[in-house]
Structure 1
């Protein structure tokens, strides 16, 4: 069965899902998005994702294309039409089509796109052995806390990681601190056993999975520190992992070609992955 997407009030075959050539999302990356996990036909963490979508829209002064209460209805219909049980749902909102001008148009109508697709699961090999990441300079704009569609620096970093034989790039800012991954949040278990991740300020995107993992860790009695950590702390860590809607909690066992800890997924990482699996099932 062919895929179906929602574009500005219409459900259309995915290969016919188009927006106007002067849509500001295309010309200026003037838009935001959300990626929501779909498990057994159910959108997970829906309210959290819609809250963040609202924050991103507000930060860019983009009007809601439909009332918030309508989005779950549209999402459910796209899922139903695609007969997809497990995968990802994608929402993108742009300021809409307008004559090309850097200033915001006065009467633009926002564009709304919703689509879904299946995803590749984390492999047994990745879980057993962990994955490699590389560190790269953080060259993104200064508001990565807004989930903007302007992702070229992220794409360049992820491509660089692939070319280096890694699955992700972790960003190092001008203070020498690890901020986050190109498409993930970064965690380490420090030498003293504390779980560390960058605070959710304007330097990172406050990942939904990140926030849920922190809550699960604290409920399990694991000490959590939301503070920046250095590249040196990263390379001396006991454990490392990254979080995201697609991967949930994925062990990191190699940084810039060097092993993390003993080079194997650590007990705190594996415990949090198991706890997150229980959260998703519930």
Structure 2
């Protein structure tokens, strides 16, 4: 293929779409699948059972699909699946899963992954996220859609960050972050809700009002978590347009395993 640089080393068993391109000195392993329109820059290594979708832009010096940094891993056929239209900047590391946790690491669509980001084994990154430089996701982390993570932030293993949440610069995230919330610091603290991001995404005044009320119930009225959850459940009747947002919050709180940032 003319769009594979002659210095690249591509295993003949790799499945690379005719419209994809591979830059100089990159190495592509035998079990890799790369979709249409995806560009891989110079000096990248894509290995393992890694599937990369359409129209991704992978910049130079990335390690994608390497074995997990987990001592339990014993060479099992685990996976990394990357969706479509993602931008992955320089020096990022995205690892395969481990069998004990399902064996798959996933990255969705339309994500903006900045330099030196690490996505560890069995992480699940949603769609439209922004991960600023040096974001570090430990194993089993889950990021919902539209999450924004500030630079130099570390997220502890098994932590979940809900959709539309924003994590500020240089934060240490060791508890689950509910949807819509704005958090930062070490120790982590909830500063408010992500009103600017929600407005940019077209949230109506009624939906914003419901999010504001959920924030108030969780963090401003001195309620126990159980009492706050019960009150949040009643919001769907008061603000029908925000029913989906309320349901998302209820589901997240019900599934929180590390306690929520409060």
TM superposition score normalised by structure 2: 0.27
Bigger fraction of residues in helix: 1
Higher RCO, 1 vs 2 (CA within 8 Å, ≥6 residues apart): 1
